[in-house]
Amino acid sequence: MLSSSMDSLRTALFLSFLAICVAGCQAGGSNSSHAVGQPPFLSAVASAPPQASDDAPPPDKTGGFDGKRAYSLVAKQVAFGPRPSGSPAIAKLQDFLQSELQSYGCTVDTDGFTADTPVGRLPMKNFLVKVPGEKPGSILLGTHYDTRLQDNFVGADDGGSSTALMLELARLLCPHRGKYAVWIAFFDGEEAMKQWSDTDSRYGSREMAARLSLSGDIKKVKAFLLADIVGGRKAQFFRESSSTPALVDLVWNTAHKLGYLDLFRDSSTAAQDDHDSFLARGVPAVDVIADFMNNGYWHTPQDNLDKISAKTLAIVGHVFQESVKELQAR
């Protein structure tokens, strides 16, 4: 999503971070009450375990999607600390993602690449889960897993929530074969390194869209459903105006049929996001993104685990799963 500009001091701090952060580096969200000598993010993780008060519906009420399990996957990401592209922490997360997906029995294609950014050339890595289908064509789901380049920013909602959602969907979808293949993309480098622009942002999705275009596989993609900032306790989702109208209708109609009118509203909003990389190449796409500009913590160190709701994750995961079933039936 659209990022604010960052000054030269942050750039210098990041380059220093890449150079000196040791393998045992831990991180997470900001918390002023942390113990002396303990990074603030560790206190934040410890103080925000999964809460039963979220009243997450049981998996048998949400198509098998487990909101509490998704919440725990957000917590695991936050425990790695700030995860900007090219950092030691994101490398640990990449290992975790690959291991977790393989434990579900998923087939995972990995694409390591380098990107020229305003803070230098950085290594990045995309993951693409591929669940085979019976007929030609694929349904693409996606998330970014990097966090913004900012001190003490652990992106529990912005990056963490959608990544957890896609992991839980992969756990449910990988064992089964549908009419069409289902691909689940985990993009690196969505966030700008300095100031959001067409060249400084969406590095991973632009890379994947280009590769799929070169191979011809992009023509197989019937629809792309993107998730971003999907776990907030007070989240509301508006119809994203640059998305493909028919796909927006499909997702919102699905949500309304499931009884989630209080979260999926009929107002509209606009967001620049990873779906743009596929829209530009003719792929129908929808961005399911919360009203981040008004959540009070977007792109701040307050985007921490205490902002995340297992109930919200369960609801959005249910909507995605049922939307995939609707696309499979077409």
In a domain, 323, yes or no: yes
In a domain, 322, yes or no: yes
Residue owning tokens 């190449």: 281
Q: Is 8 exposed, middle or buried (0-12, 13-18, 19+ CB in 10 A)?
A: exposed
In a domain, 94, yes or no: yes
Q: How many domains does the chain have?
A: 1
Structural domain of 175: 58-328
**CA atoms of 326 and 139, how far apart (whole Å):** 11
**CA atoms of 41 and 306, how far apart (whole Å):** 11
In a domain, 45, yes or no: no
In a domain, 32, yes or no: no
Q: What is the pLDDT along the chain (330 residues), one digit of tens a residue?
A: 544 434 343 444 444 444 434 333 333 333 333 333 445 455 445 445 545 446 899 999 999 999 999 999 999 999 999 999 999 999 999 999 999 999 999 999 999 999 999 999 999 999 999 999 999 999 999 999 999 999 999 999 999 999 999 999 999 999 999 999 999 999 999 999 999 999 999 999 999 999 999 999 999 999 999 999 999 999 999 999 999 999 999 999 999 999 999 999 999 999 999 999 999 999 999 999 999 999 999 999 999 999 999 999 999 999 999 999 999 999
In a domain, 52, yes or no: no
Six token digits for residue 194: 């300095």
CATH number of the domain that 244 lies in? 3.40.630.10
In a domain, 68, yes or no: yes
Q: Is 111 exposed, middle or buried (0-12, 13-18, 19+ CB in 10 A)?
A: middle
In a domain, 78, yes or no: yes
**CA atoms of 321 and 318, how far apart (whole Å):** 5
- Global pTM reads 0.87
**CA atoms of 145 and 168, how far apart (whole Å):** 14
